[in-house]
Structure 1
Amino acid sequence: MAERAQFEELARQLSAVGAVKRDLGRILPPGCPGGSAAALTLLGRHGDMRMSKLAELLAVDMSVTSRHVAHAADRGWIMRSPDPTDKRSRILRLTTAGRAQLDELSRRTTELLAERLSTWSDDDLGHLTRLLTRLRENFGDCRSAPRLAHVVSAPPSVADRNTRTPAQGT
């Protein structure tokens, strides 16, 4: 098994991936926030689906998914139609405009990655992709509770310390 120091360094590197995500977020087309982009991407990859399935794939609550879908539907990227098997549910489907938006998202993302990783070999890119896929698979559904034998609690935040009553102590 890997040494603790290796896991600590991995945690630092994964934290730094936030900078990559922010950079990718900056290239989103105007009027297309990350949540809508993620919904379009999943519909493009998996095809028509119920809102509940999209929420599951996004690993967010239905209320959050509903906001993303409403935003995309208001722009004509997603069509919501009654589910023939359950009239209370809606089937989500990409529209022609949604496919065009998804193509634009893909183009922008691909161009940025190609620019930033231009010095990487094909083997390095393939290796990174395989490792990230494996990492994601090992984490499974990120909505589930961590499977730790013990959880080390972080020290209380300043907000936590300021909201404690005298009976709770410091």
Structure 2
Amino acid sequence: MAANTLHEELMHQLSAVGAVRRELGRIVPAGCSEGSATVLTLLSRQDTVSIRKLTELLGIDISVTSRHVAQLAMLGWVDRRPDPADRRSRLVCLTDRGRTLYAELSERRSRELAARLCDWTDEDIGRLSLLLSRLRTGFDDSWTGRDTRAGSSAADSPAA
């Protein structure tokens, strides 16, 4: 029963993290949605990525990814080009303008976090970052179709 209480508390805190994320999501440039800002963030960590891979990283439907990429391309923040390995697919990368915009967005969000966490130690911030990374890693296999629970595969799970 204690484990259930811990998991319920974790779910409550994850909801609170969602509220923090939404607040930080409001710090976006004009004409850019929070979802598109997330795409910019992912692209800042990649050189060039296919829309399919970007979709996997985002954990959303490919049609939603395509809409975000189309909006960013229209704004001149990303470049789309055919994938030489598969002409039906598109590769996406940040333009110089997109990199500049991402740097500004990152700086604004970092300043906001620094202001909100001014009474936290660097160690506390590092520990939270590490734990959130571990949490995400525990769910990464769900995007690839592998279920890490008790050695089963996602195809074996009731949700598949």
SS of equivalent to 1:29: coil
The structure carrying a bigger helix percent of its residues is: 2
CA displacement 1:91-139 (0-9 Å, x = unmatched): 1111011101111110111011000001000111111111111111112
SS of equivalent to 2:28: coil
Aligned to 2:9: 9
Alignment check: 8 A CA contact 1:83 1:90 kept: yes
Q: CA RMSD in A?
A: 2.3
CA displacement 1:34-73 (0-9 Å, x = unmatched): 1111111111102201111111111111100000000000
Q: Structure 2 length as normaliser, TM-score? A: 0.85
More off after superposition, 37-46 vs 69-78: 37-46
Q: How does 1:74-93 map to 2 (within 5 A)?
A: 74-93=74-93
SS of equivalent to 1:46: coil
**Is the radius of gyration larger for structure 1 or structure 2?**
1
Q: How does 1:59-78 map to 2 (within 5 A)?
A: 59-78=59-78
What code does the residue aligned with 2:32 have? Answer: C
SS of equivalent to 1:28: coil
In the alignment, the residues of structure 2 paired with residue 92 and residue 112 of structure 1 have an alpha-carbon distance, to the nearest angstrom, of 29
In the alignment, the residues of structure 1 paired with residue 105 and residue 2 of structure 2 have an alpha-carbon distance, to the nearest angstrom, of 38
Alignment check: 8 A CA contact 1:59 1:141 kept: no
What code does the residue aligned with 1:17 have? Answer: V
What code does the residue aligned with 1:68 have? Answer: H
In the alignment, the residues of structure 2 paired with residue 11 and residue 66 of structure 1 have an alpha-carbon distance, to the nearest angstrom, of 30
Unaligned runs of 5+ in 1: 150-170
Alignment check: 8 A CA contact 1:59 1:142 kept: no
In the alignment, the residues of structure 2 paired with residue 11 and residue 87 of structure 1 have an alpha-carbon distance, to the nearest angstrom, of 43
The total of aligned residue pairs comes to 150
Alignment check: 8 A CA contact 2:55 2:62 kept: yes
Change in Cα spacing, 1:141 to 1:109, as seen in structure 2 (3 Å) is farther
What is the CA-CA distance between 1:32 and the residue it aligns to? 1.2
In the alignment, the residues of structure 2 paired with residue 64 and residue 71 of structure 1 have an alpha-carbon distance, to the nearest angstrom, of 11
Aligned to 1:120: 120
What code does the residue aligned with 1:113 have? Answer: L
Change in Cα spacing, 1:56 to 1:134, as seen in structure 2 (3 Å) is same
What is the CA-CA distance between 1:3 and the residue it aligns to? 2.3
